């Protein structure tokens, strides 16, 4: 990135934040702090009203705005691909907003580049295989984004994995995460008095309240996600899979986080579970495409179950 592009980007970055530190600017553009200070000084000399507060950071004086910035064809193409991903992975509330934004981007592109975007649209397709059922009828994601941004309390009726009757929860939403083919709301649950993970497809209904909550200053979504791998569930499981079985696991796994390592003999999968009850038939369902490396108890259980299964099918029908 040349300096002119970086200075323009720096103004946009400042316009998009109430306040930002020099270190955050340096991390964003992958430059040194010394370069940040030089660029800030150059912007000030060019008439950009940057306010600097010691120990706090930089901001742009209220009322200052750059003229609208045109999108390059590459930027428009990247946003189009993002819209395609949203259409497959998000609910209708975000998809409609993304379509509206893409229409605005298309309208400011030069005529020649609009044709490029039309051709890109006709020549791009995504087929994302997953165990997801129909999209939830309730457009939760847009409302949750709004509540997270404004620290608003959310009341929701939530049905757990057992399928029992939904319970009313009052939560303080802190983040949304996509994993195991589903969107999850990470929030502080006032009923459980702890942080909880709510699958958005199990939210029967929700309402964003006018009530606000104090920001959870000590909470970090990234640290919270990282802590999942540190939680002790009791049993360490290590499996070696064929590439085909590993691909199925990546697309259909719903039992939390796992790590994988490619080896010449296959893909080694590692995760933790509380008991061996569900994993035994799961391993059997993959036949010889899954080899148990640990624990030995799981290997014994699968072997015994396979023998019982073979004996059952050797018997003639009654």
Contact in structure between 43 and 79 (CB atoms under 8 Å): no
Task: Give residue for tokens 């796992």.
Answer: 258
**Helices assigned H by DSSP within 16-52:** 22-29, 33-45
pLDDT in tens, the chain (318 residues): 788 888 988 988 888 788 999 999 999 999 999 999 999 999 999 888 999 998 899 998 887 776 666 677 788 888 888 888 887 787 777 877 887 787 777 777 776 777 787 788 788 877 665 444 445 445 688 899 999 999 999 999 998 765 678 899 999 999 999 876 788 999 999 998 999 999 888 899 999 999 999 999 999 998 888 777 665 557 899 999 999 999 888 877 767 678 899 999 999 999 888 788 889 999 999 999 999 999 999 999 999 999 999 999 999 887
In angstroms, the CA 145 to CA 175 distance is 8
pTM for the model: 0.57
Angle between helices 92-108 and 140-150 (to 10 degrees): 80
- Residue 52: beta bridge partners? 58
């Amino acid at each position: 990135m040349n300096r002119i592009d970086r200075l323009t980007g720096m103004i946009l970055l400042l316009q998009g934040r109430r306040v930002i530190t020099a270190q955050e600017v340096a991390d964003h553009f992958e430059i040194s702090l010394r370069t940040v200070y030089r660029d800030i000084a150059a912007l000030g000399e060019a008439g950009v009203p940057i306010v600097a507060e010691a120990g706090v950071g930089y901001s742009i004086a209220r009322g200052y705005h750059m003229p609208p910035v045109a999108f390059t064809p590459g930027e428009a193409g990247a946003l189009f691909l993002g819209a395609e991903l949203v259409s497959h992975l998000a609910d209708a509330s975000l998809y409609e907003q993304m379509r509206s934004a893409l229409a605005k981007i298309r309208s400011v592109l030069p005529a020649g580049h609009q044709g490029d975007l039309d051709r890109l649209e006709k020549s791009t397709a995504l087929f994302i295989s997953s165990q997801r059922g129909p999209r939830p009828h309730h457009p939760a994601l847009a409302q949750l984004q709004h509540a997270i941004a404004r620290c608003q309390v959310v009341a929701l009726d939530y049905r757990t994995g057992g399928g029992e009757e939904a319970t009313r929860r009052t939560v303080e939403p802190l983040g949304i995460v996509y994993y195991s083919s589903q969107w999850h709301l990470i929030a502080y649950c006032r009923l459980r008095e702890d942080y909880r993970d709510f699958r958005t497809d199990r939210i029967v209904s929700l309402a964003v309240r006018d009530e606000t909550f104090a920001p959870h200053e000590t909470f970090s979504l990234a640290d919270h996600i990282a802590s999942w791998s540190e939680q002790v569930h009791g049993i360490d499981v290590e499996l070696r899979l064929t590439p085909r079985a590993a691909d199925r696991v990546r697309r259909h796994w719903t039992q939390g986080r796992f790590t994988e390592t490619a080896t010449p003999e296959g893909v080694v999968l590692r995760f933790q579970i509380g008991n061996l009850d569900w994993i035994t038939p799961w391993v059997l369902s993959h036949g010889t495409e899954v080899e148990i490396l640990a624990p030995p108890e799981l290997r014994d259980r699968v072997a015994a179950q396979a023998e019982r299964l073979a004996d059952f099918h050797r018997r003639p029908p009654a």
